[in-house]
């Protein structure tokens, strides 16, 4: 019995061999990329870049909130001191 008769393949076009775009044909598509022609490394770089932009926007918003709260605290302390001085004058 010959090997091809026993179910063994010889790498021809019928069984995914190189001539039908098998592993060698797919290597070009992996290098070229699946999504928008980008490779996985490029997609990951874009994802990291987008996450950095989002994180910086969140940090900037938090910094503005903290600055506003500090200003409010300073105003509240001034008002407290004024009220304490006024209460001492009344007593």
Same domain, 22 and 47: no
Q: Which domain holds residue 47?
A: 38-91
DSSP category for residue 85: H
Same domain, 13 and 55: no
- The structure tokens listed for 86 are 């006024």
The label of the residue with tokens 């190189």 reads: 18
Same domain, 26 and 46: no
| pLDDT interval class at 91 (50, 70, 90) | confident
| pLDDT interval class at 85 (50, 70, 90) | very high
* pLDDT score at 34: 67
Same domain, 12 and 47: no
Same domain, 14 and 54: no
Could you tell me the pTM of the whole model? Answer: 0.51
Assess whether pLDDT exceeds 90 at residue 73.
yes
The label of the residue with tokens 């300073």 reads: 74
Same domain, 9 and 47: no
- Domain total in the chain: 2
DSSP conformation letters of 2-31: -TGGGT---S-GGGT-GGGT-HHHHHHHHH
Model confidence pLDDT, tens digit, residues 20-70: 555 565 665 556 666 677 888 888 999 999 999 999 999 999 999 999 999
Same domain, 44 and 84: yes
Assess whether pLDDT exceeds 90 at residue 14.
no
């Amino acid at each position: 019995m010959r090997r091809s008769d026993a179910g063994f393949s010889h790498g021809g076009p019928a069984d995914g061999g190189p001539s039908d775009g098998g592993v060698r044909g797919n290597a070009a598509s992996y290098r070229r990329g699946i999504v928008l022609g980008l490779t996985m490394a490029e997609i990951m770089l874009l994802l990291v870049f987008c996450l950095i932009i989002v994180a910086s926007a969140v940090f900037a918003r938090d910094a503005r909130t903290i600055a506003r709260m500090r200003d409010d605290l300073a105003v509240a302390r001034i008002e407290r001191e004024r009220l304490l001085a006024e209460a001492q004058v009344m007593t």
